[in-house]
């Protein structure tokens, strides 16, 4: 990746205002998958674009290239998968927002098994190389290791994902359609516009406007205040039941008038006078309404801004007392997300963060110069003809559930005089909501109905001063290790199996959560835990509880496993019944230590996931009954067969199962060996060719009861590879 610094001035003044981001998934190569999945799909989320789930792709066994399952018009299976994401300047709050995200951001591409619906790992793609630096287009290729770190065991690299990415610059996309898909080989998405303007940044806006000038004591205003015109009251006076009844009587009267010429002329004159009076009344009402609208327009100040989840928008409002006497003013707000900044340190921190200009000399005072600085109430005391700066902040995390559904919101703040009840000013806020910009995505697996705790080390060099979470029932905190590195500690209580806890974690550069520097999305899946304690080489039966909400008469199901040590029942699919509750599988431990294996239960009709089981296996060392040394020619090109004596120490006929600890090096040709009472058999053991340089390998041959899987004996084999 290019390590050169990124000049934000070049990105800000780029004439190509539209960025076409192209992500192409080329190939997937597994490391040591004994049973690699044949079909996979990917999920990823880029910037503010919602999560994208690809179609199911197959992996070509010859060259590991990803191919689509549907043939094209030429009868071939198209290779690769392409996502085209269009982001223009109208969808950004600032011209350098996308460049800042690409400079330090990344996209996490999750790999899923399409048959078992189990997460195989995630590949992290750095985005720094997508900064164009004034060029028309850039592209790069990347080999991203796929790492599975979702389980509470050491991370494991499962494969490598080959990706090609590009950033193509275009002029403003008003006159071109960059998202029109002319082929089914890729998907396209365009980030919608947010109505970009110079006053809609999230860094903070100073709203300064006097509702009325010093000439408020005019005849017009005195008239309006004395009349106290109310729009709803005036509307009710005009269109009340009495007026409607009079109109109805007038229509009936017109029908009863005789049809003579004299009566017709009188009727016309009467109608003319009535219409003239109605016109005069409507004209008078129109004047009053216009005057009222003009006055309220002078009292109202509008302010628009964009905000995403986790952001805090801070702005100042200049409130002026136009009266020659002091007044007590109450600040009325309906939205819990909007509040007044009552701490001067918080206000000063915000001003330093946005490089606030010097104080306006026309402003007489700020709210922090009063005794109300430590007051949490929304009461303001204004001296005669005084202007007062009131800082507000809008916290998007405190938005109610009903308000979260919409993309836009309107909030009104009324500054009302306490004694007379007259409004001094009205602040009309227009809030446009947009998706959050994702910097890091993590996914974990945890036990159901238990506490989940995870420590995540920060990789960014910037120091984080505060942290918050979208879920108030989860706890997040910042801790430091001995090396002064910052660690995010997350604690949450998990629900029943198959439930997912979605946590959006926000990291801030200041202590008051004004400057958001990173957004994490953490998803934790609840699994059904099964504990297994066994001895190496021993086969144990595992009972899998069937979910209580699963209908047994539904479509057949399939079982999938991530470990070759688990032997699934045959045949599949399985038709569950009361006799099959619980479902049993066989587990044969080949290694010593603790490990976690996943099993999934899916529906064979629609491939939906029904349940996931986490088998926590704890395997102890076996009891060695005999030890042997076997010499093998290291230059062999074909498998070599050796025989070994196996004894039946029982006085009855028995059948034994032979299991190898390293089936990739040695495997019994006859898995089941039957012997009579006190009998002896010499089953053949096949040793496979090796391609490593080690001269000695220790293996174990486990002899188990063929029916129960109980361990009978364990032979330790020391295999020496040398030229013969």
pLDDT in tens, 181-226: 445 555 777 777 664 433 333 333 333 333 343 334 444 554 454 4
Based on the domain organization, do 465 and 559 belong to the same domain? Answer: no
Q: Cα(243)–Cα(314) distance, rounded to whole angstroms?
A: 50
Question: At residue 404, does pLDDT exceed 90?
Answer: no
Based on the domain organization, do 519 and 550 belong to the same domain? Answer: no
| pLDDT for 290 | 59
| pLDDT for 241 | 61
pTM of the model: 0.75
Residues 121-128 have a mean pLDDT of 94
The angle at the Cα of 458, spanning 455 to 459, to the nearest 5 degrees, equals 140
Q: Cα(453)–Cα(450) distance, rounded to whole angstroms?
A: 10
> DSSP secondary structure string, 607-665?
--EEEEEEEEEEEEPP---EEEEEEEETT--S-EEEE--EE--SSS-EEEEEEES-TTT
| pLDDT for 442 | 96
Max mean pLDDT among 225-234, 282-291, 513-522 falls in 513-522
Number of domains in the chain: 5
Three-state DSSP class for 471? coil
Residues 518-541 have a mean pLDDT of 89
Based on the domain organization, do 540 and 520 belong to the same domain? Answer: no
Q: For residue 692, what is the domain's CATH number?
A: 2.60.40.10
Decide if 196 contacts 93 (C-beta within 8 A): yes
Q: Which of 492, 527, 562 is the last residue of a domain?
A: 527
Q: What is the pLDDT of residues 267-310, one digit of tens each?
A: 667 666 776 676 666 655 555 555 555 656 668 888 999 899 99
Based on the domain organization, do 118 and 219 belong to the same domain? Answer: no
Q: Cα(209)–Cα(415) distance, rounded to whole angstroms?
A: 14
Decide if 46 contacts 101 (C-beta within 8 A): no
Based on the domain organization, do 425 and 315 belong to the same domain? Answer: yes
Three-state DSSP class for 724? coil
Which range among 385-394, 397-406, 445-454, 674-683 shows the weakest confidence by mean pLDDT?
A: 397-406
Q: Cα(126)–Cα(145) distance, rounded to whole angstroms?
A: 12
| pLDDT for 83 | 92
The CA-based dihedral angle spanning residues 437, 443, 449, 452, taken in that order and rounded to the nearest 10 degrees: -80
Two tokens at 694?
């080690």
Based on the domain organization, do 543 and 578 belong to the same domain? Answer: yes
Residue 712: how many CB atoms within 10 A of its CB? 18
User: What kind and span of H or E run contains 293?
Assistant: helix 261-299
Based on the domain organization, do 65 and 183 belong to the same domain? Answer: yes
Question: At residue 571, does pLDDT exceed 80?
Answer: no
Max mean pLDDT among 139-143, 342-346, 356-360, 604-608 falls in 139-143
Based on the domain organization, do 157 and 202 belong to the same domain? Answer: no
Decide if 721 contacts 690 (C-beta within 8 A): yes
Decide if 642 contacts 652 (C-beta within 8 A): no
The angle at the Cα of 420, spanning 418 to 425, to the nearest 5 degrees, equals 70
Which range among 270-279, 387-396, 518-527, 702-711 shows the weakest confidence by mean pLDDT?
A: 270-279
Q: Cα(583)–Cα(27) distance, rounded to whole angstroms?
A: 37
Based on the domain organization, do 215 and 173 belong to the same domain? Answer: no
Q: Which of 486, 508, 527 is the last residue of a domain?
A: 527
| pLDDT for 589 | 80
Residues 418-422 have a mean pLDDT of 84
| pLDDT for 590 | 76
Two tokens at 470?
């979208």
Decide if 285 contacts 234 (C-beta within 8 A): yes
Higher pLDDT, 363 or 113: 113
| pLDDT for 212 | 40
| pLDDT for 550 | 76
Question: At residue 362, does pLDDT exceed 60?
Answer: no
Q: 211: closest CA among 75, 86, 382?
A: 382
Two tokens at 179?
């998202």
Place of tokens 């003009």: 294
> DSSP secondary structure string, 60-77?
-TTT-BEEESS--TTS--
Based on the domain organization, do 141 and 33 belong to the same domain? Answer: yes
| pLDDT for 364 | 52
- The whole domain housing 604 covers 536-620
Q: Cα(350)–Cα(510) distance, rounded to whole angstroms?
A: 9
DSSP secondary structure code for residue 248 in this structure: H
| pLDDT for 235 | 52
Based on the domain organization, do 467 and 614 belong to the same domain? Answer: no
Based on the domain organization, do 394 and 246 belong to the same domain? Answer: yes
Rg of the chain over all Cα atoms, to the nearest angstrom: 38
Strands (E), 483-515: 486-493, 500-508
**Which residues are CB-contacts of 696 (< 8 A; sequence separation ≥ 6)?**
718, 719, 720, 721
Higher pLDDT, 297 or 618: 618
Q: Which of 195, 220, 237 is the last residue of a domain?
A: 195
Three-state DSSP class for 718? strand
User: What rounded mean pLDDT belongs to the chain?
Assistant: 81
Three-state DSSP class for 99? helix
């Amino acid at each position: 990746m290019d390590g050169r610094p990124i000049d934000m001035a070049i990105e800000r003044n780029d004439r190509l205002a539209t960025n076409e981001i192209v992500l192409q998934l080329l190939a997937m190569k597994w490391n040591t998958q004994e049973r690699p999945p044949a079909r996979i799909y990917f999920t990823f989320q880029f910037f503010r674009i919602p999560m994208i789930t690809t179609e199911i792709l197959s992996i070509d066994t010859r060259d590991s290239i990803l191919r689509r399952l549907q043939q094209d018009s030429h009868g071939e299976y198209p290779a690769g998968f392409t996502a085209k994401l269009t982001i223009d300047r109208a969808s950004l709050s600032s011209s350098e927002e996308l460049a800042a995200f690409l400079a330090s951001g990344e996209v996490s591409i999750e790999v899923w098994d399409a048959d078992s619906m189990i997460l195989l790992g995630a590949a992290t793609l750095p985005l720094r190389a997508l900064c164009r630096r004034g060029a028309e287009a850039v592209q790069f290729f990347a080999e991203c290791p796929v790492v599975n770190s979702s389980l509470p065991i050491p991370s494991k690299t499962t494969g490598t994902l080959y990706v090609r990415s590009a950033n193509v610059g275009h002029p403003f996309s008003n006159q071109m359609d960059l998202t029109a898909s002319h082929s089914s080989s890729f998907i396209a998405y365009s980030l919608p516009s947010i109505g970009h303007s110079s006053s809609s940044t999230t860094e903070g806006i100073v709203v300064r406007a006097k509702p009325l000038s010093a000439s408020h004591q005019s005849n017009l205003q005195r008239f309006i205040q004395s009349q106290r015109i109310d729009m709803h009251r005036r509307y009710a006076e005009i269109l009340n039941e009495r007026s409607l009844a009079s109109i109805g009587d007038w229509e009936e009267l017109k029908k009863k008038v005789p049809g003579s010429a004299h009566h017709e002329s009188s009727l016309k004159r009467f109608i003319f006078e009535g219409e003239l009076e109605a016109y005069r009344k409507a004209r008078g009402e129109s004047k009053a309404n216009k005057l009222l609208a003009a006055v309220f327009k002078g009292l109202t100040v509008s302010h628009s801004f964009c905000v995403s989840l986790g952001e805090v928008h801070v702005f100042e409002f200049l409130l002026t007392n136009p009266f020659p006497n002091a007044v007590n003013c109450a600040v009325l707000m309906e939205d819990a997300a909007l509040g007044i900044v009552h701490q001067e340190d918080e206000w000063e921190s915000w001003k330093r963060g946005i490089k606030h200009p010097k104080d306006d000399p026309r402003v007489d005072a700020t709210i922090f110069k009063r005794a109300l600085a430590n007051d949490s109430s929304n009461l303001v005391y204004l001296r005669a003809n005084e202007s007062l700066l009131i800082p507000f902040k809008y916290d998007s995390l405190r938005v109610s559930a009903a308000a979260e559904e919409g993309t836009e919101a309107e909030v009104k703040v009324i500054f009302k005089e306490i004694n007379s009840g007259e409004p001094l000013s009205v602040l009309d806020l227009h809030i446009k909501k947009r998706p959050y910009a994702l910097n890091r995505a993590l996914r974990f697996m945890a036990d159901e109905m238990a506490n989940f705790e995870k420590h995540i080390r920060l990789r960014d060099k910037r120091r984080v001063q505060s942290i918050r979470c979208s879920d108030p029932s989860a706890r997040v905190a910042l801790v430091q290790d001995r090396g002064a590195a910052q660690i995010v500690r997350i604690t949450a209580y998990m629900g029943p199996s198959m439930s997912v806890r979605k946590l959006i974690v926000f990291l801030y550069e200041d202590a008051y959560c004004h400057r958001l520097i990173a957004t994490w999305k953490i998803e934790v899946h609840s699994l059904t835990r099964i504990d297994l304690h066994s001895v190496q080489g021993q086969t144990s039966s595992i009972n899998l509880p069937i979910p209580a909400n699963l209908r047994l008469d539904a479509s057949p199901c399939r079982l999938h496993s991530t470990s070759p040590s688990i032997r699934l029942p045959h045949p599949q699919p399985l038709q569950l019944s009361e006799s099959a509750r619980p479902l049993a599988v066989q587990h044969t431990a080949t290694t010593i230590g603790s490990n976690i294996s996943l099993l999934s239960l899916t529906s064979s009709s629609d491939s939906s996931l029904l349940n996931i089981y986490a088998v926590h296996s704890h395997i102890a060392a076996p009891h060695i009954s005999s030890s042997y040394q076997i010499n093998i020619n290291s230059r062999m090109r074909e498998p070599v067969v050796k025989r070994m004596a196996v004894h039946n120490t029982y006085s009855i006929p028995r059948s034994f199962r032979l299991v190898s600890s390293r089936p990739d090096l040695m495997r019994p040709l006859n898995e089941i060996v039957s012997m009579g009472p006190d009998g002896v058999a010499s089953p053949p053991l096949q040793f496979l060719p090796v391609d490593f340089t080690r001269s000695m390998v220790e293996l174990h041959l486990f002899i188990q009861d063929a029916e129960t899987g109980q361990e009978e004996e364990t032979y330790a084999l020391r295999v020496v590879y040398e030229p013969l």
